[in-house]
Structure 1
Amino acid sequence: MSRSIAQQSVDELGGQSSVLARQRRDHEELDRLMHRYASGGLHAAERQKTLKEIFQLTFSHAFAEETVLWPALRRLAPDGAELTARVEEEHQQINELATRIESTEPDDPRHDELTADAFALIRQDIREEEDVLLPRLQEVLGHDGARLRRLGTTWETVRRTAPTRPHPGVSRRPPGNALAGVPLSAVDRARDALSPPSPRTLWIAAALVAACVVGAALRRKR
């Protein structure tokens, strides 16, 4: 198996635009934000803003993995199903913890306890991806830089339009996550902008879900 992607050069990863390099940059940014949150030098409002940034990146990143990368790994590697099941369970646990965190006030002692648990899981997830899943994906793709870059472009496109909030009730796999992703992303990003989603936004989201369901049904029928 290939070395951890944490130990490889950008060229070995397939270049700056490869999916492996993009993944590692996100992991580094998450690590930076988690250290910033735990530093103790932030005012309460800035601390909560940092936590929000951590979760926005965590959930959009994980959604793109579950939509683009893990299906490819299951398709290409005999052990792909086993490897991705484990990391999807971690993603589910992080979703559930984040939901509980959102239900507590920042001055509630449980808030920091739950946040520490979530950060520990995020770091565990990063280690498993960088040491096991992503090197395995690199191996089955034959270290093909062009394929890694194409996969990176697809992954980045999905990440930039993915939900940014915890949704523990949504499937971790296609097509369930993809069907829910478009409307959830519209609502999440409206909430991130500090304005509640308008009735029009919700109507459009519902229409998109219906269109996705009908489209999937037609494709199955054909």
Structure 2
Amino acid sequence: MGHGGNVISELTTDHREVDELFAQIQALPADDKNRRRLADQLTMELVRHSVAEEQYLYPTVRRYVDGGDDLADKEIADHAEVERMLKELEKCEPGDVRFDSLVTQLKTSVTAHVADEEGHLFPLLADVCSPEALEELGEKVRSAKKTAPTRPHPSAPDTPPANKLLAPGAGMVDRVRDMLSGRGRDN
């Protein structure tokens, strides 16, 4: 969740970590209780990553990349779809048919989103931003992930300024809930 480097390196590392979490979930037997812990970790990582992108990456794309509004709108719509699935996954337990179905749907959606970002959006961003600007954006993204929510909030705003104002409060509440429940701790 905070790796260093420019924004493209930071987010690409996040993508690989999410890929690994999917692989770990899918490698376990259907009724293994560790799948719940891994699904919670996956949710936490995806939500923090999405919030940070919505706060800093997509506004930059809108401002500097040709056709950036359409690109950002598509990426935000992808996030909304993933967040709805994550909310459903919270209600499922390993062994439930719906659990496996949602994990499969999430993986498909996230994989397509990642391929689009890494293959299209990141190269466009790299073409229009200086290395210094990409480094600064990486710092902002890392900072946002530290205070971002850890649970899906599908009805929360996903564009500035409302998302920048409300996400830290929701993040604080989520982290308190996580601390009290033990969610997100490696067992």
Please give the TM-score of this superposition, normalised by the length of structure 1.
Answer: 0.76
Deviation at 1:41, TM superposition (A): 5.5
Task: Give the aligned partner of residue 130 of structure 1.
Answer: 118
Aligned residue identity for 1:154: K
Task: Give the aligned partner of residue 159 of structure 2.
Answer: 173
Say if 2:148 and 2:167, in contact at 8 Å, map to a contact too. Answer: yes
Would you say 1:22 and 2:22 are equivalent positions? no
Deviation at 1:65, TM superposition (A): 0.4
Task: Give the aligned partner of residue 171 of structure 2.
Answer: 185
Q: Which has the greater radius of gyration?
A: 1
Q: Distance in 2 between matches of 1:42 and 1:160?
A: 32
Would you say 1:87 and 2:75 are equivalent positions? yes
Q: Distance in 2 between matches of 1:184 and 1:178?
A: 11
Query: Which runs of structure 1 show a deviation greater than 4 angstroms over 4 or more consecutive aligned residues?
Result: none
Q: Secondary structure at the match of 1:193?
A: helix
Q: Secondary structure at the match of 1:149?
A: helix
Q: Distance in 2 between matches of 1:67 and 1:104?
A: 29
Q: Secondary structure at the match of 1:78?
A: coil
Aligned pairs for 1:46-195 (under 5 A) are: 46-141=34-129, 144-195=130-181
Q: Can you give the 5+ residue segments of structure 2 that lack an aligned partner in the other structure? A: 183-187
Task: Give the aligned partner of residue 203 of structure 1.
Answer: none
Q: Distance in 2 between matches of 1:128 and 1:78?
A: 16
Deviation at 1:43, TM superposition (A): 7.0
Aligned residue identity for 2:144: V
Q: Distance in 1 between matches of 2:85 and 2:181?
A: 24
Say if 2:7 and 2:138, in contact at 8 Å, map to a contact too. Answer: yes
* Greater displacement, 49-58 / 172-181: 172-181
Cα distance change on mapping 1:43 and 1:113 into 2, 3 Å: closer
Deviation at 1:42, TM superposition (A): 8.4
Q: Distance in 1 between matches of 2:31 and 2:136?
A: 41
Deviation at 1:172, TM superposition (A): 1.4
Q: Distance in 1 between matches of 2:100 and 2:178?
A: 22
Q: Distance in 2 between matches of 1:123 and 1:176?
A: 28
Deviation at 1:23, TM superposition (A): 0.9
**Residue deviations 1:106-139, cap 9 Å, x none?**
3321121122111211111111110111111111
Q: Secondary structure at the match of 1:179?
A: helix
Aligned residue identity for 1:190: V
Task: Give the aligned partner of residue 8 of structure 1.
Answer: none
Deviation at 1:179, TM superposition (A): 2.1
Q: Percent identity of the aligned residues?
A: 30
Please give the TM-score of this superposition, normalised by the length of structure 2.
Answer: 0.89
Cα distance change on mapping 1:97 and 1:182 into 2, 3 Å: same
Task: Give the aligned partner of residue 35 of structure 1.
Answer: 23
Q: Secondary structure at the match of 2:121?
A: helix
Q: How many pairs does the alignment contain? A: 179
Aligned residue identity for 2:36: Q
